[in-house]
Amino acid sequence: MHGKRIERIAIIGGGTAGWMAAALFARLLGPLGTRIRLVESEEIGTVGVGEATVPTIRLFNQLLGFDERDFLARTHGSFKLGIEFRDWGGPGCAYFHGFGDFGADIEGIAPHHHWLKLRMEGDGTSHEAYSFPAVAARKGRFAPPPKDPVSSAPYYQHAYHFDAALYARYLREYAEARGATRVEGRVVDVARRAADGFVEAVVLADGRRVEADFFVDCTGFRALLIGEALGVGFEDWRGWLPCDRAVAIPCARRGPLTPYTIAAAKEAGWRWRIPLRHRIGNGYVYCSAHVSDDEAAAALLADLEGPALAEPRLLRFAAGRRKAFWAKNCVAIGLAAGFLEPLESTSIQLIQNGLTRLIEYFPDADYDPAMIAEYNRVTANEYARVRDFLILHYCAAGRRDAPLWRDCAATPLPDTLRHKVDVFVSTGRVPMLTEESYAEASWVAIFLGSGVAPRRYDPLVDRIDSAVLAQGMRRRREEIRRVAEAMPTHEAFLERACPAP
């Protein structure tokens, strides 16, 4: 049995979150005749710095039916095989979080256990020699993923870097072509029903009212509906993730078009480098208790590889999440729902997952409280898992040369992360919880990359004779190197596959 159907949806906010919502709803709800309107204010603008993604974005693009070549050409996009973390263990250290595992399981055991055994027997080979995306990325290569000869699975997944403004425009064209409409205007008030406090309409500065049955709050850090109007509080995680500001400056590209993001640790935070085809996105994410805005901007300007293409842009934020993501007839998506700092480019993924979950739980006009509670429960778990993953980068970083890094090492961990660290250190295993965004191989990449060494490996590894294991592992890494070296450079592949318009 179905209740009364929701006929009118209003998305408030036209950043990446708002236009992703409009595109998805136009694709999936448009055919039902649902009226989809998006309200945004040019005067207020968007955050616009979310330019690095994780591989799940490809599922979203596939759901919308985007053609990858057209999408990359129109957003000046490039491919991303992972993130290189520089200087997190101290000056000169680097490790790679690649979008893939460290090779196929061997007799049912995750490959890092086999690597660990060889390591304990004196083999100095880095675990990254078994990560195809790490090897290919560092050689500057890209091609659609070849298959691992052992498992027949693709050697890696890929994500993208793209121009956030062009991505929003791309989504907007798609949504408008499928019937979504855009309303330009600044929201000055949110009208609520007297009887139950449900949102009835948003009121614009010129007096117009945009009414709807269901509202999606995509107003960014302002959280106009979920926070200001409905009074849902914010759970502040700055105690674990202390960076609270960023300065961003795009610049001309000088070096090769690398197929990965760089996240380089700095005294009071870290610096990103996101390679697009027409420019480099740069930013310094920092903790305002340890460096001033002017010092951060000067440090970033001094570190640019080419001429700056815009003035420094300052962004303030707090790591954390809304205490509820869905209240009454309003769901918060994007920065209005929460933000966990940009270290692993998780924000667009959280938008995508929030939207697909919303479609999965799409309500009737009776807004069943049990379903709302379930949406909130699952989403809260998802945010907590991502939070733990990010905290691991800081707490495991070997740097102790500045107050931020000493504080991070000394801060007690959330229980869920403490448990993961303890189990990994004593057994080399990663206990996976529900609603994890990151697979075991990603956790292993950060643990091992940060120098967290387990005390033992899976005892079943001893079924294989050490000499046989060493020979098999050598063949693996030689195969990875050979295949990676045969691939075209990232730039050559892009120019051939998706020429810029």
Is 15 assigned a ligand-binding role in the annotation?
A: yes
Among 61, 75, 329, 345, binds ligand FAD (CB under 6 A): 345
Site for ligand FAD in 51-80 (CB under 6 A): 51-53
HSE, side-chain direction, 13 A CA sphere, residue 395: 19
Does 348 help bind ligand FAD (rule: CB under 6 A)? yes
Does 131 help bind ligand FAD (rule: CB under 6 A)? no
Among 58, 182, 222, 474, binds ligand FAD (CB under 6 A): 222
**347 vs 477 by CB, closer to ligand FAD:** 347
CA distance 147 to 156: 8
Is 344 assigned a ligand-binding role in the annotation?
A: yes
CA distance 88 to 266: 8
**10 vs 448 by CB, closer to ligand FAD:** 10
Residue 124 identity: G
**53 vs 450 by CB, closer to ligand FAD:** 53
Q: Closest approach of Cβ 23 to ligand FAD, in Å?
A: 13
Is 65 assigned a ligand-binding role in the annotation?
A: no
CA-nearest of 329, 87, 340 to 236 is 340
Residues with catalytic function = 80
Does 47 help bind ligand FAD (rule: CB under 6 A)? yes
> Strand 261-266 to strand 330-332: parallel, antiparallel, or no bridges (unpaired)?
unpaired
Is 9 assigned a ligand-binding role in the annotation?
A: no
Q: Is 494 exposed, middle or buried (0-12, 13-18, 19+ CB in 10 A)?
A: buried
CA distance 430 to 446: 12
Does 49 help bind ligand FAD (rule: CB under 6 A)? yes
Does 461 help bind ligand FAD (rule: CB under 6 A)? no
List C-alpha distances in Å: 417 to 116, 386, 389, 396.
Answer: 22, 10, 8, 11
Site for ligand FAD in 10-29 (CB under 6 A): 13-18
- Phi-psi region for residue 314, left (φ > 0), alpha (ψ -120 to 50) or beta? beta
**Cα angle: 451, vertex 454, 456; to 5 degrees:** 150
CA distance 49 to 434: 30
Is 14 assigned a ligand-binding role in the annotation?
A: yes
Among 75, 347, 352, 353, binds ligand FAD (CB under 6 A): 347
Does 46 help bind ligand FAD (rule: CB under 6 A)? yes
Contact 247, 290 (CB under 8 A): no
- Phi-psi region for residue 279, left (φ > 0), alpha (ψ -120 to 50) or beta? beta
Residue 218 identity: C
Q: Closest approach of Cβ 213 to ligand FAD, in Å?
A: 20
Contact letters (x/-) for ligand FAD, 301-330, by CB under 6 A? --------------x-x-------------
Q: Closest approach of Cβ 457 to ligand FAD, in Å?
A: 35
Does 379 help bind ligand FAD (rule: CB under 6 A)? no
Contact 247, 272 (CB under 8 A): no
**Which residues contribute to the annotated binding site for L-tryptophan?**
344
Interface ranges with ligand FAD (CB under 6 A): 13-18, 39-41, 44-53, 186-187, 218-220, 222, 224, 246, 283, 315, 317, 334-336, 342, 345, 347-348, 351
